Amino acid sequence: MGKNVLIVFAHPEPKSLNGSLKDVAVERLTANGHRVVVSDLYAMNFKATADGADFLARNNAERLNYMEESRNAYENGTQAADVAAEQTKLKDADAVIFQFPMWWFSMPAILKGWVERVFAAGLTYGVGQHGNGRWGDRYGEGKLMGRRSMLSLTCGGLPSQFGPRGVNGSLDDLLFPIQHGILYYPGMDVLPPFVVYQSRRQTLDDWPRLKSEYEKRLDGLFTDGSLPFRLQNGGHYDDQQVLKPGLGAGESGTRIHLLQPGDPPQAMPATTGKA
Ligand SMILES: Cc1cc2nc3c(=O)[nH]c(=O)nc-3n(C[C@H](O)[C@H](O)[C@H](O)COP(=O)(O)OP(=O)(O)OC[C@H]3O[C@@H](n4cnc5c(N)ncnc54)[C@H](O)[C@@H]3O)c2cc1C
């Protein structure tokens, strides 16, 4: 049965390589029977800055506390219309694809702004019980559980430069704040990223190969395995949220947060909490 897919597209030029990859996703997923919605952030002139204008009513008009006002506005229906509209697309989606060029080792500012504004308190963070041994519903639990997500990005650098000993730092580490900190945090499953390296060296001769590689990944959007991040509340972390001794052996850095063969089973979340 067809599913709902949201593509969040962050590139100022529709004819760019990123624009072509976005078009491929729309065509392929539609041909596969899915319903696709695109948030073309530059075309929408999406407001990237999180500020007091995001709230139609304020709890405290004297001093802005963005997190508190975010929760208040989310719960009381007083968010800016563009934020509420993007949240509706997000909640309706069974999978979310983020299409962007790597800019300064991360996502373009307009996309980071989309996350900051759309991922409201009470929807994506500050969810569940905090205190008495619980640190909330996050990292594998939360209101976006049951959804899949995938980064599709282009980088100027070579694969070797993003490898385990590459000068740029490993791509797994660079994407950890996005894949683990933004997507897994509110409960989404995260598929391995689709990456075009040396993007500026690509030519139209390379395009049929790139297109076909991406189409294969799109065909697996609802069947491919996701990154095996550990559950926060699954028993692998201690009461201070530190990975327990003996787990992550032989790994370092952010890779210790991936399950390894032979790890003890995790307690699965009790609730789905789907938004
Ligand atoms: C501010 C900034 C910061 C950056 N920081 C980093 C960084 O930290 N790390 C890093 O690795 N890189 C970085 N880069 C490089 C950046 O990642 C690349 O410029 C980007 O990935 C290129 O993607 P594009 O869609 O803009 O490509 P485009 O410039 O649109 O296209 C790239 C090439 O693909 C060809 N192409 C092939 N097929 C097609 C098709 N079907 N449609 C369109 N074009 C096609 C084009 O002809 C062109 O030669 C940065 C760039 C900027 C501007």
- What are the tens digits of pLDDT across the range 74-90? 999 999 999 999 999 99
pTM: 0.97
Higher-pLDDT residue of 107 and 1 is 107
Is residue 40 over pLDDT 90? Answer: yes
Please give the number of the atom of ligand 1 that sits closest to the Cα of 19.
Answer: 25
Q: Which residues pair with 190 in a beta bridge?
A: 149
What's the gap in Å between 116 CA and the centre of ligand 1? 25
* Ligand 1 in reach of 104 Cβ (< 6 A): yes
Is residue 186 over pLDDT 60? Answer: yes
Q: Which of 28, 103, 214 to mutate to test the pocket of ligand 1 (most atoms within 8 A of CB)?
A: 103
pLDDT digits (tens, 9 = 90+) for 188-211: 999 999 999 999 999 999 999 999
* Ligand 1 in reach of 14 Cβ (< 6 A): no
Residue pair 179/190 in contact (Cβ under 8 Å)? The answer is yes
What's the gap in Å between 101 CA and the centre of ligand 1? 6
Residue pair 37/7 in contact (Cβ under 8 Å)? The answer is yes
Task: Give the helix ranges, DSSP H, for 77-226.
Answer: 81-92, 109-118, 171-178, 207-219
Which pLDDT score is estimated for 269? Answer: 78
* Ligand 1 in reach of 102 Cβ (< 6 A): yes
| Strand ranges, E, within 50-201 | 95-101, 130-131, 134-135, 148-154, 189-190, 194-196
